[in-house]
Chain A
């Protein structure tokens, strides 16, 4: 999981509001936060990369709260309370979104179980497989040519 974080940082160039955050650590926090909040009036942009009035306003709000010493969780829950889950680019985990979060991983597990079954089934001894296969091929071929002419 941690490894993935490397790739994660990739997605957006972050524009910081003209540096009003003196501490570089705060600035980094702000950049990370701004990327996860949606500019709700834009087509599909975070507040970090939108020129919209609303995005600018949200950026200022977040900055103010960081300066007030609020934690990330506090800021996020404040935003969600006011604007709903829609503002979060990281959807919450609940009954409805469980499949969204777990689905791909379940698919990996199911997929590998299926492979397991395929190989297991193959391992069961089959009498004279090569000859069988050849026979089957012959049968298929004659069936094919039957189709063609019919």
Chain B
């Protein structure tokens, strides 16, 4: 019964989503309040039924119902309960159900947090959200039903892919999808604004917190994925420029550009039509990512061509969404007038530069991801695009962005005053240079020109952000205090600096040794002595494993005991490497057990990776900045207050130019 209830709930959700798409839009078009008002309850009911479907699939996993094909393919009675639950999104069908569940959750959130939105606008937003829901629920029901029965039922399941049996992979997909799918809200707001002709600062203010929240979830999702790759793949790497990774990086880059462009639109009414285009782009890239990952086109273009059902559906949906929204854009956006004037040296200018660079970086990732697929499909040859390409094309585009980031917040809107700014930043620059050179020298005992240059850039971002915060606090004396948004921006920008330091020092100064060890053997990296104490068999719930014990000492004192494993899962017998890592602020010690060479000899990979934790801390700071920015009080004031505030600022005119 359980899968049938889930299936049925999904069918009902489809019809509710249809109602949600049609009625409010019709109402907004005809000006019928009763129809417009249907959006909210429809979104809530849709959420309810999708939640039921999601719960039923989860229940089927918990109860080991191997008469459900999807459960039989991705679970096993020996699988621990937490992985039975995360196995729900362990493969194609369930991932899509998670996608739809996230979409419905965002829809529900809009109905809760958007009391201040005018009814026409809200009706159109609900309708666009509903349309996206219709597309994906239809996709599940037509091509990827997770509730399909297996007759006769399997005696036991084929188990979850061992790579996914990991705590990181329990939360990585939900976070990532929250982000991916969250851009649908910014997209719906953009389309609604285009339809209603309200493409103004108020629209930008409504969109900002939603965009920021989606972006911060995406950031956390990407970090978790990278972290997982680091310890689970056992090669010490944390970013592989894999198409699947790129698929999540592309909407992230567009989302980052959108966050910044929205700021200019909200504050100055500038670049309205560009901002709306970015909102469309961010969500389109989310859909493109879904297409890439879910169609099978990445595995092989030819496999995709021979079984194209799923891919063609998403591709069709992608074309409809992009086509309709761009058509709408072409129709409505030209009538949108630009904001106020601004000069060469102004915040607007720097934000435009930010957008140009982010778009170029995005183009590099997009082309690097698509080129192999497109060339293969056109029979122009098989090529691979990997790290060497992105190093040469992506990195040089991002570096100037990091440098500009230090100046951007300090420059006023409209017309910045360059001279006093440079006078002030002279000191910051000098301190950045000194600390940037000192950091690798002190931490690593050596530095090259390139290392010093990039740590200097990182220090520049961190210190100039601090300088900005100091300025704002000084100027705010006696006032009610700085807004959370200011702290959010400073922390997020400083996070970029932290990330750059981590990437630089970890990549340049990491030492890797691939060694053959017998029990009692030692290997030394820098001052750390790694000694293999024993390798013993261990039995897990659904695998057996060889677990090594590696004792690490430094100058005779014990630092850590690491226990890397080589696991073989009972059902899917491919061997899995479980690296063991000792992390401190300044370095990771990393040991992975490779393979048994002879009776008592093992191949081990041993790494010393300085500042590795900074690579995750940086983006987590960015996400924290996002949390603060989204929690800013001003997003919670009612529409009436916004209007009053706007009138006030309009009369106060340019005097508040520098306030972010």
**Complex Cα distance A51/B566, Å?**
13
**Complex Cα distance A109/B385, Å?**
23
CB proximity of B379 to chain A, nearest CB, Å: 11
**Complex Cα distance A54/B595, Å?**
16
Interface residues of A in 91-150 (CB under 8 A from B): 91-92, 96-97, 99-101, 103-105, 107-108, 111-112, 114-115, 118-119, 122, 129, 133, 136, 140, 143-144, 147-150
Interface residues of B in 437-464 (CB under 8 A from A): 450-451, 453-454
Q: Is the CB of B383 within 8 A of A88?
A: yes
CB proximity of A48 to chain B, nearest CB, Å: 8
CB proximity of A35 to chain B, nearest CB, Å: 7
Q: Is the CB of B514 within 8 A of A15?
A: yes
Of chain B, the residue at the smallest CB distance from A96 is: B380
Q: Is the CB of A85 within 8 A of B343?
A: no
Q: Is the CB of A119 within 8 A of B343?
A: yes
**Complex Cα distance A17/B242, Å?**
23
Q: Is the CB of B352 within 8 A of A17?
A: no
The verdict on A22 contacting chain B, using a C-beta distance below 8 Å, is: no
**Complex Cα distance A85/B389, Å?**
14
The total number of A-B Cβ pairs within 8 Å is 199
A18 and B197 in contact, given A10-B507, A103-B367 (Cβ under 8 angstroms) = no
The verdict on B382 contacting chain A, using a C-beta distance below 8 Å, is: yes
**Complex Cα distance A97/B388, Å?**
14
Q: Is the CB of A97 within 8 A of B395?
A: no
Note all chain A residues with C-beta closer than 8 A to B607: 13
Q: Is the CB of B388 within 8 A of A90?
A: yes
**Complex Cα distance A19/B282, Å?**
47
The segment from B231-239, B417-425, B473-481, B543-551 that touches chain A is B231-239
Note all chain B residues with C-beta closer than 8 A to A147: 120, 196-197
CB proximity of B71 to chain A, nearest CB, Å: 25
Of chain B, the residue at the smallest CB distance from A7 is: B395
**Complex Cα distance A115/B289, Å?**
30
Q: Is the CB of B507 within 8 A of A6?
A: yes
Q: Is the CB of B359 within 8 A of A16?
A: no
The verdict on B292 contacting chain A, using a C-beta distance below 8 Å, is: no
The verdict on A66 contacting chain B, using a C-beta distance below 8 Å, is: no
Q: Is the CB of A87 within 8 A of B384?
A: yes
The verdict on B293 contacting chain A, using a C-beta distance below 8 Å, is: no
CB proximity of A60 to chain B, nearest CB, Å: 13
Q: Is the CB of B243 within 8 A of A100?
A: no
Interface residues of A in 1-32 (CB under 8 A from B): 1-19
Partner of A89, one of B299, B360, B388, B513: B388
Note all chain B residues with C-beta closer than 8 A to A16: 512-514
Q: Is the CB of B450 within 8 A of A6?
A: yes
Q: Is the CB of B198 within 8 A of A115?
A: no
Q: Is the CB of B392 within 8 A of A4?
A: yes
Note all chain A residues with C-beta closer than 8 A to B198: 144
Partner of A36, one of B120, B386, B454: B386
Q: Is the CB of B197 within 8 A of A86?
A: no
Q: Is the CB of B233 within 8 A of A49?
A: yes
Q: Is the CB of A143 within 8 A of B384?
A: no
Of chain A, the residue at the smallest CB distance from B233 is: A49
Q: Is the CB of B386 within 8 A of A38?
A: yes
CB proximity of A62 to chain B, nearest CB, Å: 14
Q: Is the CB of B387 within 8 A of A89?
A: yes
The verdict on B113 contacting chain A, using a C-beta distance below 8 Å, is: no
Partner of B384, one of A3, A35, A89, A105: A89
Q: Is the CB of B451 within 8 A of A6?
A: yes
CB proximity of B631 to chain A, nearest CB, Å: 30
The listed residue with most B CB atoms (<10 A of its CB), out of A2, A12, A35, A119, is: A12
Q: Is the CB of A136 within 8 A of B391?
A: no
Q: Is the CB of A90 within 8 A of B504?
A: no
**Complex Cα distance A18/B515, Å?**
6
Note all chain A residues with C-beta closer than 8 A to B394: 104
Interface residues of chain A: helix, strand, loop or mixed (majority): helix
Q: Is the CB of B504 within 8 A of A119?
A: no
**Complex Cα distance A37/B4, Å?**
49
A15 and B384 in contact, given A1-B396, A119-B349, A148-B120 (Cβ under 8 angstroms) = no
Partner of A84, one of B196, B352, B382, B512: B382
Q: Is the CB of A13 within 8 A of B337?
A: no
Of chain B, the residue at the smallest CB distance from A133 is: B340
Report, as a range, how many residues of chain B touch the other chain. 35 or more
Q: Is the CB of A10 within 8 A of B360?
A: no
Q: Is the CB of A13 within 8 A of B31?
A: no
Q: How many residues on chain A are close to B (CB under 8 Å)?
A: 65
A144 and B197 in contact, given A96-B380, A111-B356 (Cβ under 8 angstroms) = yes
Q: Is the CB of B603 within 8 A of A11?
A: no
Partner of B375, one of A8, A36, A96, A111: A96
**Complex Cα distance A91/B391, Å?**
12
Q: Is the CB of B31 within 8 A of A149?
A: yes
Partner of A107, one of B242, B363, B391, B605: B363
Q: Is the CB of B357 within 8 A of A108?
A: yes
Note all chain A residues with C-beta closer than 8 A to B248: none
A104 and B367 in contact, given A6-B450, A147-B196 (Cβ under 8 angstroms) = yes
Partner of A3, one of B243, B340, B450, B590: B450
Q: Is the CB of B609 within 8 A of A13?
A: yes
Partner of B368, one of A10, A49, A86, A100: A100
**Complex Cα distance A31/B243, Å?**
23
A49 and B235 in contact, given A8-B387, A104-B361 (Cβ under 8 angstroms) = yes
**Complex Cα distance A131/B656, Å?**
19
CB proximity of B430 to chain A, nearest CB, Å: 20
CB proximity of A43 to chain B, nearest CB, Å: 8
Partner of B504, one of A6, A11, A92, A104: A6
The verdict on A44 contacting chain B, using a C-beta distance below 8 Å, is: yes
CB proximity of A11 to chain B, nearest CB, Å: 4
**Complex Cα distance A48/B512, Å?**
12
Q: Beyond A13-B235, A103-B364, A105-B360, list 19 extra A-B contacts (CB 8 Å).
A: A4-B399, A6-B450, A6-B451, A6-B507, A7-B504, A8-B388, A8-B395, A12-B236, A13-B607, A15-B512, A15-B594, A19-B514, A38-B386, A45-B240, A51-B594, A108-B357, A111-B360, A119-B349, A136-B337
B residues near A (Cβ < 8 Å) are 31, 118, 120, 196-198, 200, 233, 235-237, 239-243, 299, 337, 340-344, 349, 352-353, 355-357, 359-361, 363-364, 367-368, 371, 375, 380-389, 391-397, 399, 450-451, 453-454, 503-504, 506-508, 510, 512-516, 575, 590, 594-595, 603, 605, 607, 609
* Pairs A–B under 8 Å by Cβ, sample size 24: A1-B392, A4-B395, A6-B507, A7-B395, A7-B399, A7-B507, A10-B507, A11-B507, A12-B387, A13-B235, A15-B235, A35-B388, A38-B386, A44-B243, A49-B235, A85-B382, A91-B389, A96-B381, A104-B397, A119-B342, A133-B340, A144-B198, A147-B196, A150-B31
